[in-house]
Amino acid sequence: MRYVIIGGGIAGTTAAEELRKLDNTAEITLVSEEQHAIYSRVLLPHYIKGIIPRERVFLKKETWYDDQRIEWLRGEIVTTLDVKNKFVRISTGREIEYDKLLIATGSTPRTVLDDPRGVSYLRSLDDADHFLQLLNERDTNWKAGIYGGGFIACEYLNLFAHAGMPIELAIRGDHFWSNVLTEEAGELVNQHLVQQGVILHKQAAFEQVLGEDVLTGFQTSVGTHVCQLLGIGIGIEPDMGFLRDTGINMGRGILANEFLETNVSDVYTAGDVAEYYDVVAMQQLNTGNWLNSMTQGRVAAKNMYGEKTVFELVSSYAANALGLDIVFVGDTSKQHAERVEVMGSLKEKSITQLFIRENRCIGGVMIGRNQDRKEVTDAIRERRLFQSK
C-alpha cells in the first residue's frame, strides 16, 4: 500500500506515525513545506520568552523519519494533484503515485500588504526566530503595536508585556472575537487589557504599515500608531489553492464527512485545512487547534488503513491575555447557536457564555471562570444542557 501525506505538521506527522503502527510494510511518503522536523507551534511563545531552549520545541528528532521508514520530503510542496490517475507532483517535478492520500496542508496567516523589518507573524519556527531577533535588537524606548483581536493577538500581548514594552493594540470591531463574544464579555476583555496598561483602539480598520525598509508604525481608520515592532494576528486561511480543478469539494476548508473522507475516493483530509462533519456539533466545522489536528491525523490514518473510525472530539482552546484566562470549548460560533446564555457579569469580572442549539449546549466560553470548564465540556460531550451546580 502506498500512502502519501501532504503536510508535515501535527496532523500529517501523526497520520504517518499511526499508519506505520498499523501497516509495517506500507510505503509512506510525507511531503512537508517546512525544512524543520515536526515541532510544536504552541511552544513557540515559551521559546520566545526563554522558558525553554530552542531545541525543546521539536517533537521528533530528524532521524525519526528514517527510523520509521517514512520518506520525508522536506522543503517541498505539492503543485499538482491528479485524482483520476492517483498521483501528486511536487515542486521538483517528481510524480508520486498513491493508493490513499491525506491532505493536511494546514493554513497560512492572513498578511498585510507591506513587510518592512519590524512586522511579525507568529505561525512558524522561522517566524519565532525572526521575532526573537527583532526583540533582541530593541531599545528601551521602543513601542509595540498589535493589530488583531484573536488568539494570536493574545500571544503578542503576553510576549510584548514579557519584554517590558508599552503596547498599542488596534482591533477592527468593538472587541475581541466578534463572532463569539457578547458585547458584555467583549467589554470584560477590553477593560482588563486597558487596566493592564494597553492602549486600545476599537473600530480601527487597518490601512497600512508605515516605514520603507524599517517599521515606524501603522495607520488605521482611527489614526497613526507609532511602533517599532508590530504583531499581526488577523486570522488564518486554509492552504488548498492547489486543489482547484481537482473536483474535491471545498467550503471554508476541504469538505469531509465524519470519517474525514472527501467526496473523492481515497482522498482524506485532517487538521486546520479540513472542514469536517462534527458529530457533536452536528455541523461542518473548521477548527484550527492542536489536539483536534493530532486526533484527526490519527483517525484519518485508521480510515485510510481500512479501520472505519468516526472522528469525535470536543475541541477546546485555552488562552491567557495578560493574566485573564479565556477558554473556548466546542462550537463557539454565535451564528451556529439559537441563543447564547450568560453566567457571571462584567461587574463580577468573569463571564461564561453557553451556546445553545436544539435544546443542548454545543459550545462554551469561559472568561475568568475556569471552574465552569469541566461541567460545560461534559454537557457538550453528553449532548445536553448545562446544569449549574
Partner 1 sequence: MPKIRVRVDEDLCIGAASCVTIAPATFQMNQENKANVLDHGTEPGGPTYERWMEVTEEEYETILLGAQSCPTLAVFIYNEEGTLLFPEM
Report the nearest approach of partner 1 to the CB of residue 11 (Å): 13
Report the nearest approach of partner 1 to the CB of residue 298 (Å): 9
Cell numbers for 179, please give them: 463572532
E strands, 36-192, are 70-74, 78-82, 87-90, 95-97, 100-103, 107-109, 119-120, 144-147, 167-170
Reduced to 3 states, what is the DSSP secondary structure of residue 327? strand
Q: At what angle do helices 290-305 and 10-22 cross, to 10 degrees?
A: 30
Round to whole Å and give the CA distance between 134 and 117: 8
Judged by CB, which is closer to partner 1: 43, or 122?
43
Round to whole Å and give the CA distance between 123 and 54: 15
Judged by CB, which is closer to partner 1: 228, or 377?
377
Report the nearest approach of partner 1 to the CB of residue 234 (Å): 22
Report the nearest approach of partner 1 to the CB of residue 314 (Å): 7
Helix ranges, the chain (H): 10-22, 44-49, 64-67, 125-136, 151-162, 183-195, 290-305, 373-381
Judged by CB, which is closer to partner 1: 249, or 371?
371
Report the nearest approach of partner 1 to the CB of residue 274 (Å): 18
Count of other CB atoms within 10 angstroms of residue 197:
10
Report the nearest approach of partner 1 to the CB of residue 41 (Å): 8
Helix (H) or strand (E) holding 210: strand 206-210
Report the nearest approach of partner 1 to the CB of residue 280 (Å): 12
Judged by CB, which is closer to partner 1: 87, or 317?
317
Count of other CB atoms within 10 angstroms of residue 53:
8
Which residues make up the interface to partner 1 (CB under 8 A)?
40-43, 46, 51-52, 56, 59, 61, 290-291, 294-295, 313-314, 316-318, 320, 325, 327, 370-371, 373-374, 377
Judged by CB, which is closer to partner 1: 318, or 342?
318
Judged by CB, which is closer to partner 1: 52, or 282?
52
Query: Are the C-beta atoms of residues 373 and 355 closer than 8 Å to each other?
Result: no
Judged by CB, which is closer to partner 1: 13, or 105?
13
